[in-house]
A and B are shown apart, each in its own frame.
Chain A
């Protein structure tokens, strides 16, 4: 069975800076896989290459076994790939439900329609509302995103990606900037995601990583440093030095 997502010797340089160095990586179908590594290791850049936002200098990206290296973001989204952003990347001055509906409408091919009012596409509106309900955001559906507390904006960030009904979901530090007291809400949401959705999560919060992930890849200076089960990673001395040491003193 092909991996949900796979990279083969993926490289990326920004000028002289090598940000991805021969990354060969497999995200198995239905996996809960974490990508960790120190600041500036190249995690976000890796995600940007996976989605087609950046093109790699060399190497290949396979989505469900199909080589998508040459395809743009749109084509990869249509093949079931979605992402969230480390720094909120939302439609700030519109309502929460519109944020989700924009994604649902694109997925359904409704978004280019010009004649009927958007609100008359009940399937889009209802699905967006239902999705917000499952994330505990039903109360905030009509609120403008910019006015929401940061923790809720992080949930909207996930909701927009889920509006695409992805088969593969890339989460770039979903709990970044959220106080620990509130990050359990995000973990609850992640735990409730469908089992057949393949998920790659980048996260600095090690409690969250070890509770959520079945597999962990450690990235350092653009290269895969180690990959294994949470137990293996936790036991590895070198990982502690490279990464965990900094945080779990």
Chain B
């Protein structure tokens, strides 16, 4: 179940693909005191999906994806503070803002590849971070941006203190994002991204506008990251500088690698396992919890290049062969 796309792939949704949604719905009822963590996980899944699109499918390595997540977060926050707390409008603005930044930065940095590209993605994030840090009147600088309120969704569902509305809101937005990413992955465009990743030279030789494809993919991914950022702003009613930090970009890669790169559901499993483990370990071993996370990552990278989903796939294959 790798969801590699292509012209002979069966794009129909398989039964197992409904599991995450059933699981998410069950969590809503079974773990009402964890809904805040749940909302955060759902948000990070959207962010991880956006990275999977360019890293897993497009082969574009970036250490700066928080630039777009943070842009979406700040756009939504500033909009809520200055203009309107209308949530869907905030999501739209965050998505568009990050998408535009993705387009303009993509046009510049995607002329390069490899290490140069990696450095440029880092540079963009640090630029954004510095801008947000300095523009205190707009962003609140190091103090962060708060003091805004988000209006009820569609005028009907107001955000409650238990995080119920926020959780369901995140779930619905994740569902829409998943649907979109899945469509893209199975589309001819998704197939051509695979082509660019697999063999850039041949892609040029068959007359593909490689640069353009990469810019489009990067823009869509940035927009999706911005959507996740805006969602975080709205569900936490606060924006801190950390949404633009390297740590977040790094953590995101760790989560995706942990779950499995280039297979859609790796972006689901990774953030879930990572954030739940972090929550658990941070409570039990407040001093050493990072050690646990590190050990987990080392194990996955050493023994399972396909991440947790890769291990599961291999297990299933072995069972089938055995029977």
A residues in contact (CB < 8 Å) with B = 51, 53, 73-74, 77-78, 82-83, 85, 89-95, 97-98, 101-103, 105-107, 110-121, 124-125, 128, 141-142, 160, 163-164
Name B187's closest neighbour in chain A (CB-CB): A114
Cβ–Cβ < 8 Å partners of B195 in chain A: 91, 94, 102
Q: B202 in the interface, Cβ–Cβ < 8 Å?
A: yes
How distant is the Cα of A125 from the Cα of B6 in the complex, in angstroms?
Answer: 10
Are B208's CB and A74's CB within 8 A? yes
Name 28 interchain pairs, CB-CB below 8 A, sorted by A. Answer: A53-B204, A73-B207, A74-B209, A78-B207, A82-B205, A82-B206, A90-B199, A94-B6, A94-B195, A97-B7, A98-B7, A98-B191, A98-B194, A101-B7, A102-B191, A102-B206, A107-B206, A111-B208, A112-B189, A114-B187, A114-B190, A118-B11, A118-B187, A118-B190, A119-B11, A121-B188, A124-B188, A164-B206
How distant is the Cα of A90 from the Cα of B190 in the complex, in angstroms?
Answer: 17
How distant is the Cα of A94 from the Cα of B267 in the complex, in angstroms?
Answer: 22
Are A118's CB and B201's CB within 8 A? no
A-B contact count (CB 8 A): 131
Q: Which of B4, B192, B204, B206 has the most CB of A within 10 A?
A: B206
Q: Which of B9, B207, B209 has the most CB of A within 10 A?
A: B207
How distant is the Cα of A115 from the Cα of B181 in the complex, in angstroms?
Answer: 10
Cβ–Cβ < 8 Å partners of A115 in chain B: 183, 187
Q: Indicate with 1 or 0, residue by residue over B1-26, a CB within 8 angstroms of chain A CB atoms.
A: 00011111111000000000000000
* B165-202 with Cβ < 8 A to chain A: 183-184, 186-192, 194-195, 198-199, 201-202
Cβ–Cβ < 8 Å partners of A119 in chain B: 6-11, 186
Are B207's CB and A118's CB within 8 A? no
Given contacts A82-B205, A107-B206, A119-B9, 15 further A-B contacts (CB under 8 A): A53-B201, A85-B205, A89-B199, A89-B205, A91-B194, A93-B198, A94-B6, A94-B194, A94-B198, A97-B8, A98-B194, A102-B206, A113-B189, A116-B188, A118-B187
Name B201's closest neighbour in chain A (CB-CB): A89
How distant is the Cα of A63 from the Cα of B199 in the complex, in angstroms?
Answer: 26
Closest 8 pairs (CB-CB, A-B): A77-B207, A117-B11, A91-B198, A101-B7, A103-B206, A117-B186, A114-B189, A111-B192
Q: Which of A73, A78, A117, A128 has the most CB of B within 10 A?
A: A117
A203 nearest CB across to chain B (Å): 19
B200 nearest CB across to chain A (Å): 10
Cβ–Cβ < 8 Å partners of A125 in chain B: 7-8
Q: Which of B7, B9, B201 has the most CB of A within 10 A?
A: B7
Cβ–Cβ < 8 Å partners of B203 in chain A: 102
Are B9's CB and A117's CB within 8 A? yes
How distant is the Cα of A105 from the Cα of B188 in the complex, in angstroms?
Answer: 8
How distant is the Cα of A8 from the Cα of B169 in the complex, in angstroms?
Answer: 65
Name B205's closest neighbour in chain A (CB-CB): A83
Cβ–Cβ < 8 Å partners of A124 in chain B: 7, 188
Q: Are A77 and B206 also in contact (CB < 8 A) when A95-B6, A119-B10 are?
A: yes
